[in-house]
């Protein structure tokens, strides 16, 4: 069985292990992976993505740290059932900072505020639809 919900670009400047992290989080957000679902083993996924197992292991450790997955020793790795967010306020602040970066970038692309809001809503809508389709 192939895990089509994950694609890695080894030439990207974003680290491969982080692409795995984001890929899993996106799959969860899209409902492709659901609480309790078993993830492929470290070595299985590494084989399939043709990357080293250490890279996958690092990604899984990061995902566990963020409470996205749960590791049961000797049994495997699973999507977490109870999502825990201890430092929500910190992360919301980070999200807001990233939005400011959008606003700045949009200005340099000669997008008006209205166009930017519209762009955001379009992306959000498309994402929502893509998620329902899957």
Under the phi-then-psi rule, with left for phi > 0, alpha for psi from -120 to 50, and beta for the rest, what region is 8? beta
119 binds its own copies (CB under 8 A): yes
66 binds DNA (CB under 7 A): no
CA 21 – CA 15 distance, rounded (Å): 10
Contacting residue, 1, 4, 7, 87, with its own copies by CB under 8 A: 87
User: Binding-site residue total for DNA (CB under 7 A)?
Assistant: 27
In terms of CB distance, is 71 or 116 closer to DNA? 71
CB 1 within 8 A of CB 41: no
Q: Are 38 and 27 in contact (CB under 8 A)?
A: no
Q: Find all residues with CB under 8 Å of 25, minimum gap 6, and list them.
A: 63, 68
Sequence-separated (6 or more) residues with CB below 8 Å from residue 132: none
Shortest distance (Å) from residue 99 CB to its own copies:
4
Interface residues toward DNA, by CB under 7 A:
10, 13, 15-18, 39, 41-44, 51-55, 57-58, 60-61, 64, 71, 73-77
Interface residues toward its own copies, by CB under 8 A:
10-11, 13, 15-16, 22, 25-26, 28-29, 65-66, 68, 70-73, 75, 83, 85-88, 90-92, 95-96, 98-111, 113, 116-117, 119-121, 123-124, 127-128
């Amino acid at each position: 069985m192939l895990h089509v919900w994950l694609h890695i670009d080894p030439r990207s400047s974003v680290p491969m292990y982080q692409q795995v992290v984001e890929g899993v989080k996106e799959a969860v957000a899209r409902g492709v992976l659901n609480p309790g679902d078993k993830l492929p083993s470290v070595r299985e996924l590494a084989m399939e993505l043709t990357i080293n197992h250490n890279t996958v292991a690092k990604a899984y450790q990061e995902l566990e740290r963020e409470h996205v997955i749960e590791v049961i020793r000797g049994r495997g790795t699973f999507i977490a059932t109870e999502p825990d967010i201890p430092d929500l306020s910190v992360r919301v602040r980070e999200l807001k900072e990233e939005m400011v970066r959008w606003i700045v970038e949009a200005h340099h692309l000669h997008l008006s505020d209205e166009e930017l809001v519209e762009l955001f809503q379009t992306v959000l809508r498309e994402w929502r639809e893509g998620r329902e389709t899957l």
